Amino acid sequence: MRTTAPYTATRNACKMCTPLGAALVFHGIEATVPLLHGSQGCSTYMRRYLISHFKEPVDIASSNFSEESAIFGGEANLKLAVENVIRQYQPDMIGIATTCLSETIGDDVPMILSDLDYDRNRTCLVHVSTPSYSGTHADGFHQAVRAVVEQCNPNGRKKKYKPKTKRRINLFPGMLSNEDLRHLKEIFHDLNTRMALLPDYSERLEGPSWIEYQTIQKGGTPIREIERMKLSTGSMEFGSVLDLSVKNGQTSAGSYLKNRFGIPCQSLGIPIGVKATDLFFSRLEQLTLKAVPEKYKCQRGRLIDAYVDGNKYVSKKRAVVYGEEDFVAAMAGFLSETGIIPVLCATGGQSGFLQTVLNRLLSKNIKKQVRVHQGMDFTRMEEVARHMEPDFMIGNSKGYTMARRLNIPLVRAGFPIHDRVGGSRILHIGYKGTQQLFDTIINTLLQRRQDTSKTGYSYM
């Protein structure tokens, strides 16, 4: 007798909707408004997530599907939504991301937009296909970056790449914090090298208090800078999993510029930890032809000294790492070089490349102790983690209830962080960011030891 295996639905997924990542990218471009082609609920959900993390106003327009739109198509809704956004916001760009509903019924968005009557010299329309059933918020983020670069640097005639004497670098950092983006700008400023950073939401989603309401916050990557990316000296793209995806046929912003205009692209993991940051600065030296400033060498020296001082507190501690695939890979690499064992590396992504990346990053004695799970939800993650006796977890605040049930501390990092202030101001990258993460991990473990001690102690 044939039996059917029981179906288990996803519970508390370790990812967010694909259009959410796209909406964040559009908020990182100057004078741009994101518009979701779908139901009002999608826009409301994503606004809530972004507002709770960044603690800033986040506008996301919607084509506001109704039952009628779902049956007969959303063409009229989309056209009306674009017209309303142009009239009310007067943006330089509208980023249009499609949701599950509009993708399922098969709306031909490019055709709808081509038939739209508007001032094409005043407002640029960028469409990105982001059905949530085929990816994560990180996928939507990368797809939106690529779509913007393609739109602003159209195929046209392919120009032969010629090395420029005046260096200018395109940087596609992926889904980092505001503080990470500011640190990258500081590094390029110290190198006296021009950089086109896409996206840059560090000011739009963390600006000063307003006297009067602003329809579109100031800040973001200028569109004119994106349009000049095809003239840059080179590109740099963060993401080890993204790099493998590109090598297996996916197109990223950096690979598009390389294939179309011959611009060299350096792909590397997120620079968290000494080894990853060393590689980052080494690649920067190749691209900029400039030596690393002394201040960063000093930061590196202090970090290594901190590793030595803190080793006795972290050696052989066991951690659960979760979040976006490239975040998990970078964090696991950092933890392993400090002596912490990332016993469980879990993600909601399903690229199939996380295991390969970790095999390259981790030493033999570490990786044989590591379990890697993709397409994971927090319910399944908790079942697995419970048998692995971890000392702490590191990831976004969605893991708090799991940490509470496992009775272990949570080090908050990544996106989203809803139950603390300053989530957007956490610095993860570079020697400086690694130093702060290392200190936070040690202090978290020390606090846990103090809180569970029968007598407590005030000196270590």
399, containing H or E segment: none
**Cα maximum dimension of the chain:** 74
pLDDT at residue 74 in the model = 85
| Region of poorest pLDDT, from 26-40, 64-78, 153-167, 446-460 | 153-167
Q: Per-residue pLDDT for 165 more than 90?
A: no
pLDDT at residue 330 in the model = 98
| Region of poorest pLDDT, from 53-67, 182-196, 323-337, 410-424 | 53-67
pLDDT at residue 1 in the model = 47
213 CB-contact burial (10 Å; exposed 0-12 / middle 13-18 / buried 19+): exposed
Region label for 212, one of left (φ > 0), alpha (ψ between -120 and 50) or beta (otherwise): beta
Q: Per-residue pLDDT for 413 more than 60?
A: yes
Walk me through the domains of the chain, giving residue ranges and CATH numbers: 18-152 (3.40.50.1980), 168-204+217-288 (3.40.50.1980), 307-452 (3.40.50.1980)
The per-residue DSSP string of 290-339 comes to -PPPHHHHHHHHHHHHHHHHHHHHHTT-EEEEESSHHHHHHHHHHHHHHT
pLDDT band at residue 161 under the 50/70/90 scheme: low
Partnered with residue 221 across adjacent β-strands are 29
C-alpha Rg value of the chain to the nearest Å: 23
Query: For residue range 362-398, what is the model confidence (pLDDT) as tens digits?
Result: 999 999 999 999 999 999 999 999 999 999 999 999 9
pLDDT at residue 171 in the model = 98
pLDDT at residue 456 in the model = 75
Query: For residue range 293-311, what is the model confidence (pLDDT) as tens digits?
Result: 999 999 999 999 999 999 9
Q: Per-residue pLDDT for 26 more than 80?
A: yes
Q: What percent of the chain has pLDDT over 70?
A: 96
Q: Per-residue pLDDT for 290 more than 80?
A: yes
Average pLDDT, whole number, for the chain? 93
pTM: 0.94
224-250 average pLDDT score: 96
| Region of poorest pLDDT, from 66-80, 84-98, 173-187, 251-265 | 66-80
pLDDT band at residue 72 under the 50/70/90 scheme: confident
